[in-house]
Amino acid sequence: MKSSPPSPSVDTLENIDYNSALVHSTSGTLLQNMVLYHMNADDRTTFLQITAPPLPAELGDNLATPLKTWIRGTYAPAFISFLIAQTKAKDVTWRNAFSQVEIDKVWYWWNGMVSYQQLN
């Protein structure tokens, strides 16, 4: 029977040299690509005018169904709302001006997500 290699010690893990800016950037890109990949294709085409980006299978087709459903039904619509709310009416012809109340509602959702992510 083949034995597993020993687990690294905490000291070993603490001393791993890595580029935190690169890790942050890469993880942010993967998260955004997951949203773009799993969002409704019509929304991706209509609002972003892009195709689904390639992803590793475990983040794409093999992602757990409940997470795919949450991204498609909750996170992606909020992501699109956030992008639309940030677009100035003078910059594009398709955007209607959001009221301050509508913008505040979008920001409320995003601020809650940031707080949740910081806790977990």
DSSP 55-74: --TTTTTTS-HHHHHHIIII
pLDDT higher at 60 or 78? 60
* % of the chain at pLDDT higher than 70: 79
Under the banding of pLDDT at 50, 70 and 90, the label for residue 69 is very high
pLDDT band at 56 (very low <50, low <70, confident <90, very high): very high
- Cβ–Cβ under 8 Å, residues 35 and 72: no
What is the pLDDT averaged over residues 45-66?
A: 92
Q: Which residue has the higher pLDDT, 83 or 88?
A: 83
Of 76, 84, 87, 79, the residue nearest 41 (C-alpha)? 76
Give this prediction's pTM.
0.66
The string of pLDDT tens digits covering residues 20-44 is: 899 889 998 999 999 999 999 999 9
Give me the residue spans of the domains in the chain.
16-119
Token look-up 């601020």 returns 111
